[in-house]
A and B are shown apart, each in its own frame.
Chain A
Amino acid sequence: MPWARRMLVEERRWLSDEEFSEALSLCQVLPGPNIVNMAVCVGTRFRGARGAIAAFMGLMCAPFAIILVLGALFTHYGDLPAISAAFRGISAAAAGLVVAMGLKMASSRRMRSPMALFAVAAFAGVALLRMPLGWFLLIAAPISVAAAAWRSR
């Protein structure tokens, strides 16, 4: 996302800083991967449906091809002791990146005390109780948004 911002705002100047933040906050509210939503949103804005498809393809095609090549290499050579040993280390570090991302977001201003309880509930429900995410969100999202609305009266 930082790269997307640099490209859209600083290099191509397709969006102003403010337009970028506004589009981003819309894409964060909508379901789906944010970066994909962002591509669709910006594409739609400039060239309608065809723009959305072009932006989506531009975002996904090359990385899709690259990842399949890596995946193929990994299946062929993944069983070699050296590769699987390296991957044990890589996946341990990759897990750390995920943990860090969660901790970073936890310092958001939207986590001020009572609302943070919803983060605790989400962790407990999904990580510990292993609730299906769809059901959890169906119940928790309306309650959480209602709580936010009630607090902002």
Chain B
Amino acid sequence: MSGALAQLAIDFSLLSLITVGGVITVLPEMHRNVVEVHGWMSGAEFAQLFALAQASPGPNILVVSLIGWKVAGLAGAVVATGAVCAPSSILTYIVSSIWQRFRGNRWRELIEDGLVPLTVGLMLAGGYLITLAADHSALAFVITAAAAGTVLATRIHPLWLLAAGGMLGLAGWV
């Protein structure tokens, strides 16, 4: 048990420092660790926990709490959540204490110019892998594509799309 806790702490604090943008960019890495390296759960379970985190209020990063909880109970949830937040938060605290010096800094602009394309690639990688993990029928792929298209074309609240997906699932079509 404590071995699993230590592993959660190590994995997620490393993840904290390689998160560029939001949780989506580290989805592939999380999937790799949780499903492929440690075998803590199946890809489908991973996709379901992520869906639960998206449906729940609050930051999507809380998918990490669910993973920790699944692996090692409440202690796992606390350790994983703390680990994924602490290193980056401490860094942010230090930098924002001295942030005036960074105002209008040319380097910040360049770093962003360089990181955004990588972020986009990683987000698309996250979308690709979570789709493969979640979808096991032709209709599931249709739902994924329809949800993506609807978000891009309209301003509908995403929760409605999750609810619609749930209804189609409940109807036994997925």
Contact = CB atoms under 8 A, between A and B. Distances in A.
Interface of A: 22-23, 25-37, 40-41, 44-45, 48-49, 52, 56, 59-60, 62-64, 66-68, 70-71, 74-75, 78, 82, 85-106, 108, 110-111, 115-124, 126-127, 130, 132-134, 137, 140-141, 144-149, 151-152
Contacts of A116: 117
Q: Which of A87, A91, A95, A111 lies at the interface centre, i.e. has the most chain B CB atoms within 10 A of its CB?
A: A91
B10 interface: no
Contacts of B143: 89, 92-93, 96
Contact of A89 (B120, B133, B167): B167
A71 B50 contact: no
Contact of A145 (B111, B125, B168): B111
A96 to B, nearest CB: 3
Given A92-B144, A98-B24, A119-B121, A59 B115 contact: no
Contacts of B88: 30-33, 36-37
A115 to B, nearest CB: 5
Nearest to A117: B117
Interface string B117-128: 111111111111
B65 A141 contact: no
A124 to B, nearest CB: 8
Contacts of A33: 19, 22-23, 59, 61, 84-85, 88
Interface residues of B, number: 106
Contact of B120 (A70, A90, A91, A108): A108
30 contacts: A32-B16, A33-B88, A40-B93, A52-B89, A59-B59, A63-B56, A63-B57, A67-B56, A67-B58, A71-B69, A87-B48, A94-B51, A95-B133, A95-B135, A100-B147, A101-B123, A101-B151, A102-B24, A106-B124, A110-B112, A111-B116, A116-B117, A118-B121, A119-B120, A120-B121, A122-B122, A127-B28, A127-B128, A130-B28, A133-B18
Contact of B74 (A68, A89, A137): A68
